[in-house]
Amino acid sequence: MAPARTRRIIDEAGAAAVLDAAKQLAVANGNRVVMAVVDPWGELVAFRRTKDAQTASSRVALDKARTAAIYRRPSKDFEDQASHGRPSALHLARAVPLQGGEPIIVGDHVIGAVGVSGATSADEDRELALIGAGSVSANGDGAAFVSAADRREVDA
């Protein structure tokens, strides 16, 4: 039997910290946003919206978070590629070329990602996502350890 690999993933406490940090700044700025936190595989962990956020932002926030998680980089990278002469970036599987999706990194590992949609500008979406992603501490608070065997049971 092959050895099982253990991996950190964002847990509910970590997701709540991400959403709390982003929401605090969003409310202070008067933004009406939707925020989504996903695990490293792009599956939803937590979701929150501020008062009067537009309905369409729900799917967009999730798509931004999923892009950052599964490609392990900010969704803005795809927007930059598409606008700087690489239109094929628009056709990558499950990638959304809109800024506002940021990976949540602990140590050298992506433990999840956050996506924000609905602020008054794309730059503000990104700023809120960065604030949220940065709220998970470098020592791993907000991350759970999951073995490969346990993940297979979750995926089943």
Q: Whole-number mean pLDDT of the chain?
A: 86
Query: What is the C-alpha to C-alpha distance for residues 84 and 138, in angstroms, rounded to an integer?
Result: 33
| Torsion 87-89-92-96 (CA) sign | negative
Residue 143 has pLDDT above 80, yes or no: no
Tell me the C-alpha to C-alpha distance, in Å, between residue 106 and each of 15, 26, 80, 136, 137: 13, 24, 25, 8, 7
As a whole number, mean pLDDT of residues 57-84 equals: 92
Domain ranges for the chain: 7-155
The predicted pLDDT at position 155 comes to 44
pTM to 2 decimal places: 0.84
As a whole number, mean pLDDT of residues 95-106 equals: 92
Query: What is the C-alpha to C-alpha distance for residues 143 and 89, in angstroms, rounded to an integer?
Result: 31
Task: Report the topology of domain 7-155.
Answer: Beta-Lactamase (3.30.450)
How would residue 156 be classed by pLDDT, with cut points 50, 70 and 90? very low
Beta bridge partners of 48: 35
Residue 142 has pLDDT above 50, yes or no: yes
Beta bridge partners of 105: 110
Number of H helices, E strands in the chain: 5, 6
As a whole number, mean pLDDT of residues 111-134 equals: 96
Lowest average pLDDT, out of 34-43, 67-76, 132-141, goes to 132-141
> Hey, what are 47's tokens?
């979701």
Maximum alpha-carbon separation in the chain: 54
